[in-house]
Structure 1
C-alpha cells in the first residue's frame, strides 16, 4: 500500500488555509518514502517549491550536533577538559559545566547570544570567547532546563577541537557524506547551489531581508539548510541504530537509545509540549506513545522533525512563512493519524473563565529580550522588547494579553501566527518560562524602562 497517497492534497489545502508561501514534506516508514511540495520558495521570483528544495532547518541542526558530540566527547567530563577556552561569567560554573549538561540544556547560563563574529573559520571560537565575559549564570548547572543556543555553539567548538577541523567539516565528514545526503547546505554560499527557499514575514507575506545569519551560531542552527527527505534519511539512520541505508555504520551502536534517555523533566506547558529532554532531542508523550524530535526556526522559515520509534516513522515538514506553525500542526496531525494511528494532542487554548491568581508585576530580562509583566483583569499583559542583535530581527516591542489557566500557567488570549503561546512562572515567579527560564530582573518603575540584560 502506498504511504500517504493524499499528502499532496493535504499540504496544498493547508498552505492555502494558513497563507504559507511554500512548503515541502517528507515521511519515511519501512522502505517507503512519501514526499510532496507546494507553493513557491520565493514570492519575489515565483520559483516553484519542489521536494528537493532546501529550507533553513534552524535548531533541528542541534540533533546533528548532538550526534557528533556523542561520538567524539566524554559526556560527563567538564567541557573545559577538552575546550579550556570555554567559560561563562560565573567562574565556578565554568569549571563544572559538563558536555551532558550542554546537550540537555541544563548548563544554566544565558542561551541566546547571537553576536555576529564574522564569516571566518574562527567564528564559533570567537563566540565562545564572547561568552566568557557576557553569559550570566541564571541557575545552578544541572538544576533547571532552559533552552540554550549558546551551549550548542560551545559544543560546536568542542567538536571542532576534537575532530581537528571546523564544525562544518566534522559534520560533513562524519555524518553528511557517510549518510549519502545530497540536498543539504551548511551556509548561504552553499545554499545558492540548490533550489533554496527564503523566509517570508508578516501579513501579507513579504520576503525576509535576513537570509544570512551569523556563522557564530551555526552548530545551534543559524546556517544549515536541507530538503525534508534528508532529515528523514538522518532519522532513518537513527532508527537503524546508527546504520545508513547502504549498511555503512555512521554512529556507534546505542547512540540513539542514549539520545532518547530522559535527562531532565520539563515544566508542563500543555500536552503538545515536551515532557522531558534527552541528549539533543525533545521527548514527547503523544497518545501514549514516545515521540522524539526537534523544531527549528529562522526569520520566516520553520521546520518540524519527528521520529515515532514504535511505528518506524520519521517525518519532516518545512514551511517558509505565513502561519507556518498552524500549517505544520494540520499536516502533522494528518500524517500521524494516517501512517501511525496517533491522535495528535490538542494545543492548550485560553480558558473561557480565567482561573484566579495572585496579582503581580515584574520585569524579566534575557540577553535578547526584556519582558515587563503587568496584571490586568483575568490575567497579565506582557510587553517584550528585543535587545541587542535580536532587535534587528523583529518589529520592535509588542504587548500580549495572557489568560490564567491555573498553576501559574498563562495562555495568550489571541493567536499568534495561528497558535496561542503558553508561558509559565517558576520557583515562586523567579523565572518566566517559555522553554527558556528567564530570570526576574527588578520591579518595574513608573519611569521609562531600559536594561541591557547581560551588563
Structure 2
C-alpha cells in the first residue's frame, strides 16, 4: 500500500481553503517517503511549486545549529554548562554579571534571560554574526536572571553560531555545509540567496491582496537563528531520519555522537501552558510537545511571508516537514499536520484554544499596563469583558487586537492571525506578558496576581 496516498489531495484542498499560494510537504516513516507540492512559488511569475522547491525554513534552522553545538560537546570541545565566554570571549549582554554566568545550555534552552529579538543588519561577510555578538553587548537588556525563565531568544542562537564558527575555525555556514548538509546528502538546501537561485526557490507573500514580500530574507547576522536557510522538505525529513537513527545518515556516515538525539529530547525547562498545541517543554534546541499522550518533537519557522513546520514522532519513526509561502499558512499547516499524524501515526492533533462564548472572569488590574521589548511595545488596556492590546513594532504601523479570558492566566485573540487565534498569558504577578517571549512590564509590576503554573 502506498504511504499517505491522499497527501496530494490533502494539501491541494488545504491550500485552496486557506489562501496559500504554494506549499510543499514531505513525510517519511521507515523506508517510505511521501511528497507533494501545490500552487506556485511566486504569484508574479506563476512558476509551479514542486517537491524539490526550496522554502525558507526560518527557526527550524535552530535545530541544525543545536546539532552543531552537540557535535562540539560530543567531541569534548565545548561543555554545555560552561559559560559561553569560555569559548567566545566577545559574548556579553548589558548586565555584566549575567554575561559571566550565561552558559551554552542557557542559550540552547532560551533561558539566558536577555532580550532576544535583535535583528541588527551587520552587512554581508564572514564577520556578520560576530558583529551581531558585539551589538548584543551594548543592546541586549537582561529581563530575568539566567536560568530563571523561558523566553524565546533568537540572539542567543546567533551567539551559538559564532561559538561554532570560533571552535571550528571558519564560519557557521561552512560548519553547516561540511558537518551536516554534505554528510546528510542534503542536495536541495541553500544558506545564501545566491545559492537559492540555483534552485526553484519560493518567495514569501504578504498583504491583502497577497503580493511577494519586498525582501526575500532577513540579515545574515541572524543566519544561525534562521534568517537565511532554505530547503526542500525532503531534506528536512532526511535530517530527522538521521536523528532517529541515533546520529547516523542514510549512507552509514555518523553525523552526531550516539545518544545525541535522546539528550536533545530530554526536557530542560517547562513552559507556561498556553494550550495543548503549544510546546509543553523545551529540550536542547527542540520544542517538546505532549500530543494525544505521546511525545512529539520538532520546531517551527517563519520569515517574511514564509512558514515552516518540522515534526518527529519518535515512537513510530515518523518525520514531517512542510513549507508554505503566504496566506493563512498556520491554518494550512494545522490541517495538513492533523491528516498526516492521524493517518501515519494514529495520533490526534490537539485542538487550538478558541475564544469562549462566555469569557471567564479575571482581574483587569493584573494585566493592564505597558510591556516593552525589541520586537515592540504592547499597550494593554482592560475592562470587565477582556483586553485591548495595541502592538507597536519598530518602524511599522501599530495594530490593535481584542483578547478575551480563556481560563487560568490565558487570553485568546478574538480575531485570527495567520488563520489561527493567538494566545498570551501574564506571568510573575503581572511582571511579564508572555507569548513564548517574556515581555517585561515597564515601571513597577502589579502585585497580587497568581503566577502561571
> Under a length normalisation based on structure 2, what TM-score does the superposition of the two structures give?
0.96
Residue 2 of structure 1 is matched in structure 2 by: 2
Per the alignment, in what secondary structure is the counterpart of residue 364 of structure 2? coil
Per mean C-alpha deviation after superposition, the further-off stretch among 331-340 and 434-443 is 434-443
Structure 1 residue 419, shift from structure 2 partner: 0.5
Q: CA deviation at 1:71?
A: 1.1
Q: Which residue of 1 aligns with 2:428?
A: 427
How far is the alpha carbon of 1:291 from its aligned partner? 0.1
Deviations 1:395-441 (A, max 9, x none): x1100000011222100011112110000000011000000000001
CA distance in 2, matches of 1:414, 1:320: 21
2:39 corresponding residue in structure 1: 39
1:368 Cα deviation from its structure 2 partner: 1.9
Equivalence for 1:139: 144
Counterpart in 1 of 2:450?
Answer: none
Residue of structure 2 in register with 1:253 after alignment: 258
Within a 5 Å distance, the mapping from 1:4-403 to structure 2 comes to 4-72=4-72, 73-360=78-365, 361-387=368-394, 391=395, 396-403=397-404
The offset of 1:149, in angstroms, is 0.1
Structure 2 segments unaligned to the other structure (5+ residues): 73-77, 446-453
Structure 1 range deviating more: 103-112 or 368-377:
368-377
8 Å Cα contact 1:79/1:98 also seen in 2:
yes
SS at match of 2:441: strand
Instruction: Confirm or deny: 8 A CA contact 2:247 2:254 kept in the other structure.
Output: yes
Runs of at least 4 residues of structure 1 off by over 3 A? none
Question: Hey, what's the Cα distance between the residues in 1 that align with 2:253 and 2:25?
Answer: 26
Q: Does the 8 Å contact 1:304/1:328 carry over to 2?
A: yes
- Does the residue aligned with 1:68 lie in a helix, a strand or coil? helix
Contact preservation (8 Å) 1:364, 1:442: no
Deviations along 1:97-152, one digit per CA (max 9) or x if unpaired, are: 00001000000000100000000110000000000000001001001100000000
1:276 is displaced (CA, Å) by 0.2
- RMSD between aligned residues: 1.0
**Is 2:217–2:303's contact at 8 Å kept on the other side of the alignment?**
no
State the secondary structure of the residue aligned to 1:357: coil
**Corresponding residue pairs, total:** 438
Displacement of 1:376 in angstroms is: 3.0
Residue 311 of structure 1: how far off its partner (Å): 1.1
In structure 2, what is the Cα distance between the partners aligned to 1:156 and 1:439? 27
- 1:348-369 CA distances to partner (integer Å, 9 max, x unpaired)? 0111111111113200000121
Residue ranges of structure 1 left out of the alignment (5+ in a row):
445-455
Contact 1:117 / 1:215 at 8 angstroms: preserved in 2? yes
Q: Name the residue aligned to 1:453.
A: none
The residue aligned with 1:448 is: none
Task: Quote the Cα distance in structure 2 between the aligned partners of 1:442 and 1:317.
Answer: 42
The normalised TM-score by structure 1 is 0.95
Give 3-state SS (helix, strand or coil) of 2:51's partner. Answer: coil
Query: Would the aligned equivalents of 1:364 and 1:440 in 2 still touch at CA under 8 Å?
Result: yes
Report Cα offsets for 1:1-20 as digits up to 9, x if no partner: 21100000000010000000
Identify the range of structure 1 (64-73 vs 201-210) with the bigger mean alpha-carbon deviation.
201-210
Deviations 1:199-248 (A, max 9, x none): 00123211110113100000000000000000000000000000000011
Distance 2:192 2:156 in 1: 20
- CA apart distance, 1:442: 3.5
Contact 2:123 2:219 in 1 (8 A): yes
Distance in 1, matches of 2:443 and 2:230, equals 40
Q: Is the 8 A contact 2:83 2:100 kept in 1?
A: yes
Displacement of 1:377: 4.1
SS of corresponding position for 2:442: strand
